[in-house]
Amino acid sequence: MATIRDVAKRANVSVATVSAVITGKKRVSPELRARVEDALEALDYRPNALARGLFTGKTKTIALLVPSIANPGFSKALFGVETAAMKRGYAVFVANTEGSPKQVETYIERLIEMRADGVLIALTWELAQPSIIQRLRSHGLEVVGLSGGRALSQIDCFLGDEERAGYTLGQYLARLGHKHLAFIGPGDSHVAELRLRGIAAALDAAGTSHTISRIATDSYDAEGARRATLELIASGTNFTCLITFNDLMGTSALSALSGQGFAVPEQVSVATFGDFYASLTTPPLTTLSFSELHAGELAVHRLLDRIEEKFTGEPETVRIPLELMIRGSTRAAAGT
């Protein structure tokens, strides 16, 4: 691989002149610039990113830490992050923590060793820890939170307004006369707690005497939702509307209800959160839609602005609204 000295020799200039052309930090005459650029192209020269990072203190690299990139929400956020970062000259590394504190520790060490400029972290339980933020920042890495439900006051956070989304859904269901609800979702999810809090508050505000039966799952996937739906049916619990944590779980709940002879929405309504699969089911699912793409773009721009010292204000928590998408899986409760 050609070195900067090889380029200087071919162009018959000094190493300092080549460096000035590459970095653009010093003025170079048009004639010398042309000679250097011709030599760079002829030798297919590639700057040493590590050496440049040691010199400038910046490597033009950031990382996105998420529990699983297989989660459609994080995949969509990554698209927004990568698109915006590339336009500003940054590369993005993705790390899957798989919910493991040990794996988080491994990635934190690696990012520090790589001298990454900054990190976007999903605001999930294993990542939204003050000790993690403090450690990254003590090594000069800027940190911004993205999605999830655990906002941290030490950093900028961009996440969905989950409690408000729950309230919006609760208002809608109250108008339809639903008093007995069931909720299926992970038992250890702070986001689920916020949504349930919003739903209950809306029903209380509407003066609706209600029950909300919660069936906790140990996962966010379709199989967990299927088992939970069957458990709910077997328990004999009275419910006129089933709410699922995400729309992948919603598709499975629809299937389980149909398999047990429940007609949707004639006998029971189904609502969910997220809009990756919701429009593809039969009937299509009523949902609260969150733009992970938009959130990813906002978060990465704030991270890069922090890195480049274009934004130096106090950390902010930005809660992005979710939009209610009314579809065929919900209707007025029977008898209303």
Q: Which CATH number is 195's domain given?
A: 3.40.50.2300
Distances (CA, A) of 129 to 123, 132, 163, 277: 9, 5, 21, 31
Residue 333 lies in a domain: no
The domain of 312 spans 59-161+292-321
pLDDT at position 4 over 90: no
ω into residue 130 within 30 of 0, thus cis?
Answer: no
Is 53 inside any structural domain?
no
User: Do residue 189 and residue 261 come from a single domain?
Assistant: yes
Q: Give the CATH number, domain containing residue 43.
A: 1.10.260.40
Residues 177 and 145 in one domain: no
pTM score above 0.75: yes
Answer whether 166's CB lies under 8 Å from 195's CB.
Answer: yes
The pairing of beta strand 118-123 with beta strand 323-325: unpaired
Whether residue 125 lies inside any domain: the answer is yes
Query: Does one domain contain both 37 and 186?
Result: no
Q: Are 78 and 225 contained in the same domain?
A: no
d(CA 80, CA 86): 10
Strand partners, 119: 63, 143
Q: What angle do CA 163, 183, 72 make, to 5 degrees?
A: 70
21 and 141 part of one domain: no
Give pLDDT tens digits for 254-292: 999 999 999 999 999 999 999 999 999 999 999 999 999
Q: Any residues with CB less than 8 A from the CB of 41 and at least 6 apart, and which? A: none
The tokens describing 204, both together, are 């209380």
User: Is 326 a domain residue?
Assistant: no
Give me the number of domains the chain comprises: 3
Q: Are residues 153 and 63 in the same domain?
A: yes
Task: Specify if 52 maps to a domain.
Answer: no
DSSP character at residue 290:
-
Of 10-19, 87-96, 260-269, 272-281, give the lowest mean pLDDT range.
10-19
- For residue 331, tell me if it sits in a domain: no
* Signed CA dihedral, 36, 14, 8, 114: sign only: negative
- Asked, for residue 33, whether it belongs to a domain, the answer is yes
**Alpha-carbon dihedral sign for residues 230, 233, 237, 243:** positive
Asked if 115 and 173 sit in the same domain, the reply is no
CA dist 163 and 199 (Å) reads: 8
Q: Within a domain: residue 65?
A: yes
Look over the chain and give the mean of its residue pLDDT values, rounded to a whole number.
Answer: 91
Tell whether 264 and 307 lie within a shared domain: no
| Cα separation, 248 vs 70, whole angstroms | 12
